[in-house]
Amino acid sequence: MLQFPLLPPVNRYSSLLTQISGLAQSLAHSSLNKELKLKVFHTQLLRSSLFSAKIEGNQFTWENLPDLSINSSEKSHLEIKNTFLALQSIKQLTPPYSFVTWQTIHKKIMNKLFSPTGKLRTETGAIFDQFGNLIYLTPEPTEMKKMSKIWFEQATYQSQIAWQNQLILVAGLHYYFEKIHPFIDGNGRTGRIILQAQLQQTSLFSNLILPLDQYFEENKTTYYQGLEKNTRLIEPFIEFFLEGISWSLLKILHDIQSIKKNELPPKELKSDLANIWRRLLPRRQEIYLLIKDHPYLSFDMIARRFPTIPKRTLSYDVNQLVKQELVLKHGQTRGVVYSVNSKS
């Protein structure tokens, strides 16, 4: 029986956690009225529902997302709508957790897609990769229930620890849930609903749905490789998970900007930005391209690439890129990170 992962100390991820804190503060201080908050929340609900459904190869895209207010028996439509309805009700998924919690989620996401919904598996299963290679044998039912009890026990600690430790614990719980694999089908979607519920119980994300499903989909090779390993040492997976949280916060901040303006940048703006780019100093072009290669980048990471340039000079360069709207600044003080302005 695979034991619960050994969770590393917080200081191993201090840089990432500082970035997450800064982005969360930036998000908390963004000026949004009630209507905009609802739009942002609704956007993240839709985004997570769509990309969660892509676990099953759903062919819908963000551009052709179906109208979920319409009743449809079409499988791809139901996959998204069921997840959307389940995410809407995650506030009800409060500790202590039990098999009933898992079964409640499973019934919602598999409604009209699988029968019987909410039933724990009674036999060992096999998981194969896209090439048909066996990558994991699920624990037999007796072991599955023992592992589940360990999961429930570990989950009770979340409310007793600081948010930094909570994020590391939630990563470990997500990994272990997928190893338990309590249902015949729908374990990935069930696990991600639980993940969102546990993130909402932290002080940072009490009213957010994070677009982690999109991050997992866009980095699915790394995601599945992390889950496939049968080990208690999951430090790389935790780092990947924390990077996903930072990416998700940046995604929400970008969505807020788009929702506020409610329009794409005009063609003239794109032309103006191109002219600005041509007038940039070579070093600033290099800094811009460095930031562009990452979902987010701290100033320390930028400085490491230019060891012979004084930090004061580099700071001025970065601030000029921000001033020219080529780069966006997120967070405050030590938590500041930079990303490329998508409009540029």
Query: Given this model, what pLDDT does residue 245 score?
Result: 94
Query: In Å, what is the CA distance from 103 to each residue of 106, 115, 306?
Result: 5, 13, 53
Q: Which residues lie closer than 8 Å to 187 by C-beta, 6 or more apart? A: 177, 178, 181
Query: Given this model, what pLDDT does residue 239 score?
Result: 94
Query: Given this model, what pLDDT does residue 277 score?
Result: 62
Query: Given this model, what pLDDT does residue 262 score?
Result: 64
Record the pTM: 0.75
Domains observed in the chain: 10-258 (1.10.3290.10), 266-340 (1.10.10.10)
Query: Given this model, what pLDDT does residue 272 score?
Result: 52
Q: Encoding tokens for residue 102?
A: 């898992």
Q: Are 337 and 297 in contact (CB under 8 A)?
A: yes
Average pLDDT per block of 10 residues along the chain, 344 residues long = 92 92 85 75 87 85 84 90 91 89 95 92 80 81 96 95 96 96 93 94 85 90 87 93 92 80 44 60 84 84 85 86 86 80 68
Task: Report how many helices (DSSP H) and strands (DSSP E) the chain contains, helices first.
Answer: 14, 5
Q: Is the peptide bond before 282 cis (omega within 30 degrees of 0)?
A: no
